Amino acid sequence: MSNVKLVRAARYLTLMVLALAVLGVMLNSIGLLDASRDARIRHLAATLPTLFYVAAIWMIQRAHAAIGRGDAVETALAALLERLGICLFLGGIARVFGQLWIVRLALGVPASWAWFDVAAVTLGCVGLLLFVLARPLREAAKVRTELAEIV
């Protein structure tokens, strides 16, 4: 299978995952129509981390599109790592802190300051790592371009 077909297949698979994730968010947010104010706020708060994770999937799709257009792979990957890292980090933060704080502030309900969710903490750490790795990759792409111009 050629690289173009592989990139195209990966892009379509990513779009399918994105569509399923958006459908899941829509189905989960049906609770927002609940008559109870408390339930609406809890559903809204629970949706917040998911929005960052859906954005992360969208960033992957954008990278596939950029590579499919013929952009330099190093440049596309550097941008992907940076954006994906930010989305995953913010999604983890939103799950561990934001969700509880929204409920605490909006409802005035006593709640803990953080929810130690191992998966969210792991995704946040991976996001931070990806963000940090993006800079050396971007610098390497610049140096490679400069070397190509010299040669």
pLDDT of residue 1: 57
Q: Residues 72-125: pLDDT tens digits?
A: 888 889 999 999 999 999 999 999 998 888 888 888 877 778 888 899 999 999
Q: Residues 9-19: pLDDT tens digits?
A: 877 888 888 88
pLDDT of residue 29: 65
Q: DSSP 3-state assignment of 35?
A: coil
For residue 7, which of 89, 53, 71, 103 has the smallest C-alpha distance?
A: 71
For residue 22, which of 46, 68, 53 has the smallest C-alpha distance?
A: 53
Helix (H) or strand (E) holding 116: none
SS3 sequence of 47-108: HHHHHHHHHHHHHHHHHHHHHHHCCCHHHHHHHHHHHHHHHHHHHHHHHHHHHHHHHHHHHC
pLDDT of residue 84: 94
Is-contact 76 67, C-beta < 8 A? yes
Residues 8-34, mean pLDDT to the nearest whole number: 75
**More confident site: 24 or 60:** 60
pTM of the model: 0.78
- Which region, left, alpha or beta, applies to residue 39 given φ > 0 means left and ψ of -120 to 50 means alpha? alpha
- The torsion angles phi and psi of 114, rounded to 5 degrees, stand at -150, 155
Is-contact 87 38, C-beta < 8 A? no
Least-confidence region, from 41-45, 70-74, 115-119, 145-149: 41-45
Domain parsing of the chain, residue ranges: 3-150
